[in-house]
Amino acid sequence: MKKHNFYAGPSIMPQFTIENTAEAIKDLDGIGLSLMEISHRSKEFDAIIKEAQALFKELLDIPDGYHVLFLGGGASTQFLMVPYNLFRNKAAYMNTGSWAKKAIKEAKLFGDVDVVASSEEDGFNYIPRNYQLPGDADYFHITSNNTISGTELKEDLDVSMPLVADMSSDIFSRPIDVSKYAIIYGGAQKNLAPAGVTFIIVKEDVLGKVDRTIPTMMDYNTHIKKESLFNTPPVVPIYSALQTLKWLKQKGGVKEMNKINNEKAGMLYEEIERNKLFRPVVQKEEDRSIMNVTFVMNEEYKDLDKEFLEFAGSKGMVGIKGHRSVGGFRASLYNALPKESVEALIAAMKEFENKKA
Amino acid sequence: MKKHNFYAGPSIMPQFTIENTAEAIKDLDGIGLSLMEISHRSKEFDAIIKEAQALFKELLDIPDGYHVLFLGGGASTQFLMVPYNLFRNKAAYMNTGSWAKKAIKEAKLFGDVDVVASSEEDGFNYIPRNYQLPGDADYFHITSNNTISGTELKEDLDVSMPLVADMSSDIFSRPIDVSKYAIIYGGAQKNLAPAGVTFIIVKEDVLGKVDRTIPTMMDYNTHIKKESLFNTPPVVPIYSALQTLKWLKQKGGVKEMNKINNEKAGMLYEEIERNKLFRPVVQKEEDRSIMNVTFVMNEEYKDLDKEFLEFAGSKGMVGIKGHRSVGGFRASLYNALPKESVEALIAAMKEFENKKA
């Protein structure tokens, strides 16, 4: 029986993506070869990656002047590639969680990093709103969704410098105004594909402004020139990404997806607030992630953590244990998670409340 | 009908790997989740990566003091990581082809690179044998198998400095004496797994000797400390690698595989030499790759290239077009390629000869 999958990532994929990928691995479109066996220079893969790039652009309404890349190495490699390609004298970063901190650490290898705002003192449980950007920074880096604490910046910022966003865990969850960003990147293993592929949306005219020699694989222009085929790309994850993009289009795209995501997250936050046992980690509604809902037991029920995890497990739920730095619970409600799974979690929370409160 | 797959990479995989991966993508061992949906921190994936590392070590008889890593980013990223981690004052490189040149290019970003031997002037059609290594180099880098020209260094060198080898296209094709190497790395998309995972065998005591601050993702110690789980690894390709390693063990391991590979390559080289239409690219038998067999039409039949490709295609063969820098043909005979495919190619060559010569 299919589990209710609340993993933070790698995470639930649409059945459409799962079934089509499994079929293609057995035999790709009846060509007598597995998807795993085709050359990345074959006409079959050329069609796959071109369609994936085109659909990616279409679904996010990406304007001209931007490239979409599919690379290996994970978002963690982007923490390094971003400063390699953009850092001249100074960079501004917002510190909203573990991933932001890792990005800041790499940028510091290149020089002066101005951390313009941080919610670290409060356990990253909110998104800073009032801060000054230094006029002389080369770019401003944000993490739009923080998977660990469960905060999310749900609007596109207007800033006077190139804006760079790590959107690993909320890409395709809502419409975004790409024109406000210089670079958007992320690991694909949440709303897009199995682990192993990293997407990068990069505005052409922000590149080429640094003096350093950029190592070949770290240079966005290397990959732009070769359309993500400078070296062998992760073929299977890119095929799966294409399936998810097709599924997303069938479902009505990011606007419709955002409506459903708001409904799913709204239901769950409502139950967390109502239920005597639980409380949300993130207080301000506007800061609450619609992708990763974090909650803990109220003080008087604190020792029931493990028991609730087991109870939810017995109802076919996986992945709701909170990150060790926050504790409690985290339910990741990515695009592919059906409403029924959220309803099942809510029912389990109610049932557990009736037994314990 | 299954094709005869001679692609240079991504390339043929064992049916065992294909079928088990397709099944696991539908549902991993009946747990109610797809392989694509499990967390890299789950007990299921922990078992997968640990078993893959253990089997990898067992099959190559890797001594204590070495780590096996499975990362993203491809061998092209290793061209950069090797000097980041080992380069202090000078490095020695052997130039045996396009991939070696790319490795040399990245090393030059770090300082003085001594290219101790090169076969470039002769189109990379042999492996240099007589050269002097500078006593003051920090390491010596070789490419053991050159997929484009079809040369291969089939023995493990004895050198007086750390030896680093790119074995992307011949790993697991023969027994190797790992103790002679400091680092062995490669993209997995030939003898191991679908594209998207890079293996690195690294000797612990060669690390930690450089003064520079190594970026987090470029530092082998980052990944050693976290056992390849510092960031999300490519889950599906690692699962497939485990299947291939299991298959390899069933087949008798690298010693038995080497015997079969020598038979397969021997048959094909023999036919190339015998057949009036063709001649081998690599003259010296000791330099001929058993993984990538390159051959061209003899002068008087030169204009038959395209026709032979079409003829082979009509017999269900894919991937035998030579790399544009060499021309002619290349048949990649990786571990998973059955002898029957080599026999089919030989039969096609004979039939074409009867029609044309």
Long-range contacts of A118-122 (CB under 8 A, 24+ apart): A118/A94, A119/A95, A119/A151, A120/A95
Q: Which of B99, B203, B264, B287 is catalytic?
A: B99
Mean pLDDT, consecutive 10-residue segments, chain B of 357 residues?
95 98 97 97 97 98 98 98 98 98 98 98 96 97 98 97 98 98 98 98 98 98 97 98 98 98 98 98 97 97 96 97 95 98 98 96
Helix axes B74-86, B98-107, angle to 10 degrees: 40
Which CATH class for the B4-11+253-356 domain?
alpha beta
**Do B68 and B200 form a contact (C-beta atoms < 8 A)?**
yes
Token duo for residue A216:
């070949």
| % of chain A at pLDDT higher than 90 | 99
Q: How far is B126 from chain A (nearest CA, A)?
A: 25
Q: Residue A272 — pLDDT band, cuts 50, 70, 90?
A: very high
Alpha-carbon distance B179 to B62, whole Å? 7
Range(s) of chain B covered by CATH 3.90.1150.10: 4-11+253-356
Write the residue in B12, B232, B318 that is nearest to A9 by C-beta.
B232
**Do A118 and A95 form a contact (C-beta atoms < 8 A)?**
yes
- As a whole number, mean pLDDT of residues A246-258 equals 98
Alpha-carbon distance A33 to B2, whole Å? 6
Q: Which amino acid is at B159?
A: V
Q: Which of B138, B154, B170, B190 is catalytic?
A: B190
Alpha-carbon distance B345 to B315, whole Å? 9
User: Does residue A357 have a pLDDT over 90?
Assistant: no
Element (H, E) at A274: helix A253-274
Which CATH class for the A4-11+252-356 domain?
alpha beta
Residues of B in Cβ contact (< 8 Å) with A32: 1-3, 316
Per residue in A301-336, pLDDT tens? Answer: 999 999 999 999 999 999 999 999 999 999 999 999
Write the residue in A13, A31, A217 that is nearest to B36 by C-beta.
A13
Residues of A in Cβ contact (< 8 Å) with B18: 25-26, 34, 36-37
User: What per-residue confidence (pLDDT) applies to A1?
Assistant: 82
Within a 10 A sphere around the Cβ of A61, how many other Cβ atoms?
Answer: 14
Alpha-carbon distance B145 to A293, whole Å? 50
- As a whole number, mean pLDDT of residues A195-207 equals 98
- As a whole number, mean pLDDT of residues A30-34 equals 96
Q: In terms of CA atoms, which chain B residue is nearest residue A13?
A: B37
- Residues of A recognised as catalytic: 99, 166, 190
Q: pTM of the predicted model, to two decimals?
A: 0.98
Output phi, psi for B45, to 5 deg: -70, -35
User: What per-residue confidence (pLDDT) applies to A33?
Assistant: 97
Token duo for residue A335:
């695009």
Residues of A in Cβ contact (< 8 Å) with B77: 72-73, 77, 217
Residues of B in Cβ contact (< 8 Å) with A33: 2-3, 5, 318
Write the residue in B17, B39, B73 that is nearest to A73 by C-beta.
B73
| CATH number of B15-250, picked from 3.30.70.1350, 3.30.465.10, 3.40.640.10, 3.20.20.70 | 3.40.640.10
CA dihedral (A32, A34, A38, A40) positive or negative: positive
A-B interface: how many C-beta pairs under 8 angstroms?
Answer: 208
Token duo for residue B66:
């070495």
Q: How far is A32 from chain B (nearest CA, A)?
A: 4
Range(s) of chain A covered by CATH 3.90.1150.10: 4-11+252-356
Interchain CB distance below 8 Å, B236 and A194: yes
User: What per-residue confidence (pLDDT) applies to B357?
Assistant: 86
Write the residue in A36, A194, A232 that is nearest to B13 by C-beta.
A36
**Do B192 and B242 form a contact (C-beta atoms < 8 A)?**
no
Asked if the interface predicted TM-score (ipTM) of this complex is over 0.85, the answer is yes
Alpha-carbon distance B35 to B20, whole Å? 11
Write the residue in A9, A25, A74 that is nearest to B21 by C-beta.
A25
Range(s) of chain A covered by CATH 3.40.640.10: 15-250
Interchain CB distance below 8 Å, B218 and A13: no
User: What per-residue confidence (pLDDT) applies to A254?
Assistant: 98
Residue of B4, B24, B62, B7 lying closest to B237 (CA atoms): B24
Active site residue B247: no
Within a 10 A sphere around the Cβ of B165, how many other Cβ atoms?
Answer: 26
Residues of B in Cβ contact (< 8 Å) with A102: 216
For residue B154, the Cα-to-chain-centroid distance in whole angstroms is 13
Return the residue in A12, A18, A36 with the most chain B beta carbons within 10 A, the one to mutate for interface testing: A36
Interchain CB distance below 8 Å, A36 and B10: yes
Per residue in A72-121, pLDDT tens? Answer: 999 999 999 999 999 999 999 999 999 999 999 999 999 999 999 999 99
Active site residue B166: yes
Residues of A in Cβ contact (< 8 Å) with B230: 76
Interchain CB distance below 8 Å, B37 and A237: no
Token duo for residue A346:
């809510």
Give B123-158 as a DSSP string.
Answer: TT-S--------TT-S-EEEESEETTTTEE--S---
**How far is CA B211 from each of CA B215, B216, B230, rounded to the nearest angstrom?**
12, 15, 22
Return the residue in B1, B15, B33, B337 with the most chain A beta carbons within 10 A, the one to mutate for interface testing: B33
Q: In terms of CA atoms, which chain B residue is nearest residue A213?
A: B109
Interchain CB distance below 8 Å, B25 and A21: yes
